[in-house]
Amino acid sequence: MPSLTDEEIASRVQRGSRDDFGILMERYEAKMLRYAHKFLFGYDEAEDLVQEVFLKAYINIQSFNIKRRFSPWLYRIAHNEFLNAIKKKGKEPLPFFDPDTLFPHPIAAATADSDLHKQELRSELDQYLGKLDARYREPLVLYFFEEMSYREIADILQIPVSTVGVRLKRGLDYLRKFYK
Amino acid sequence: MDNNTPQKSIHERVLERIKGGEVSMHSHWYFVLRGALLAVGIIALALTVFFIFSFIIFALRVSGVWFMPVFGWRGFGEFIWSLPWLLIVVSLVFIIILEILTRHYALAYRQPLLYSALFIIAIAALGSVAFAQLPLHRSFLLKANENKLPVAGFLYRGFALQEQEHIYPGVVREMASDGFQLQTRRQEILRVLITQDAKLPYEKITVGNFVIVFGERDEGVVRAMGVRLLDSETWEHGPGFGRHMMTSPPSYQPFPTMPMQ
């Protein structure tokens, strides 16, 4: 029997199947933990926060549109939860308004050797992620570790697609300063 | 629990809390209602912005300030100075709130802020123009004049009915060699002296013309810096509209008619 898609399982959860929610959590637990550890660099509460993410996902499951992809929806909940944790700790400044979202920016096209390039960058990112601002760290984690597209990252962070490109580029520029 | 008991995974702990009844999902209708409230809020805010924008245009036309930019730099300065800045700031605040509310939708947040802000301003401008076609503001103004407009009456009395310094709309009653006599909507007769530097219309000013005069007043005499002719349609619901129903101020003795040369 072919396995059900995330969206089909979410639909069953919406109809009342709590055990099916367990299947969704099993599929995403490792990803959420990785996302939490990489984004919340230096924060100890990753596991507690991931638990909160899943609880919020269950509480709000009726707001999920089964015609859309489940993954960005869950990551959006995780983004909000992690951002709240950062604000509560007050260790990192989070600007209220980001001027990068104001104007359009041309989006850089992906290069042919981008997969190899991605692998090389991942190892560098692992070392220096903690030195980056949360604003640049998060899109880098979503792009290089969670392998999200620009469009998916834009939906998770609720920013323009062109701003995703700007933040990735700036994050990589800062990263290059550290490992040069 | 001792050290040998394996720790439960996150998903096991969460499932335990769900099955234990500690958390329950919001109903589908909760989100339907929330979405409907957001939509109603956006619509209500948009209509408020249309009302305020169209009121600003209406108030500027009725006060005569709208016509000032044609009188050169001084007229433009008068225009800027007389703008209802408080209302403009309130409109901008509402537009910012509209922008924040609409960013819940993918159509808005996927675009740069500039595009969605310009779109909202364009819709506000179009909506205001459409709103202004309705006789709503005129009827509200008349009600405000009679103190029969409880909520927004202060807006109309404060912005639209207030007489503006240096702006005198009226009807030309008599011509003179150095100007003319102007009868305002409040039946006041003013003597208008046309100075050498005054900006005048291409057409000749004659008795019966509706005009708006920009100038400095001293008692019953206005030294005009500019005069503009108004067509009857503009005059009917334009500068000074509503003032004829107000109690007239003590009227000045009309100056003797100057002989035509």
Q: pLDDT tens digit string along B140-175? A: 888 888 888 887 888 888 877 777 888 999 999 999
Quote the pLDDT of residue A102. 74
Distance CA(A6)–CA(A55), nearest Å, equals: 17
Quote the pLDDT of residue B245. 54
Length of chain A: 180
Using alpha carbons only, give the angle A54, A59, A64 rounded to the nearest 5 degrees: 90
Numbered residues of chain A with Cβ closer than 8 Å to any chain B Cβ: 14, 18-19, 21-22, 25-26, 29, 32-33, 47, 50-51, 54-55, 58-63, 101-105, 154-155, 158-163
| pLDDT, tens digit, 9 for 90 and up, residues A57-103 | 999 999 999 999 999 999 999 999 999 988 887 766 666 667 777 77
Question: What type of residue is B79?
Answer: F
Distance CA(A159)–CA(B108), nearest Å, equals: 9
Quote the pLDDT of residue A180. 63
Give me the mean pLDDT over the A134-149 stretch. Answer: 91
Highest-scoring range by mean pLDDT, A99-113, B23-37, B51-65: B23-37
Confidence band, pLDDT 50/70/90 cuts, at residue A114: low
Residue B1 predicted with pLDDT over 70: no
Quote the pLDDT of residue B259. 39
Quote the pLDDT of residue B197. 85
Give me the mean pLDDT over the B76-103 stretch. Answer: 91
Quote the pLDDT of residue B4. 58
Highest-scoring range by mean pLDDT, A38-42, A100-104, A173-177, B166-170: B166-170
- Prediction ipTM score: 0.81
| pLDDT, tens digit, 9 for 90 and up, residues B109-119 | 888 888 888 88
Give me the mean pLDDT over the A115-134 stretch. Answer: 77
Q: Name the residue with higher pLDDT: B195 or A102.
A: B195
Quote the pLDDT of residue B254. 38
Residue A39 predicted with pLDDT over 70: yes
DSSP string across B45-111: HHHHHHHHHHHHHHHHHHHSGGGGGGGHHHHHHHHHHHS-HHHHHHHHHHHHHHHHHHTTSHHHHTS
Give me the mean pLDDT over the A138-142 stretch. Answer: 93
Quote the pLDDT of residue B252. 38
Identify which of B10, B27, B106 has the shortest CB distance to residue A62: B27
Closest CA to A57 of A70, A38, A44: A70
Q: With a CB-CB cutoff of 8 Å, which residues 133-192 of chain B face chain A?
A: none
Q: Is B32 on the interface with A (CB under 8 A)?
A: no
Identify which of B27, B106, B114 has the shortest CB distance to residue A102: B114
Average pLDDT over chain A, rounded to an integer: 85
Residues above pLDDT 90, as percent of chain B: 38
Residue B248 predicted with pLDDT over 60: no
3-class state of residue B112 by DSSP: coil
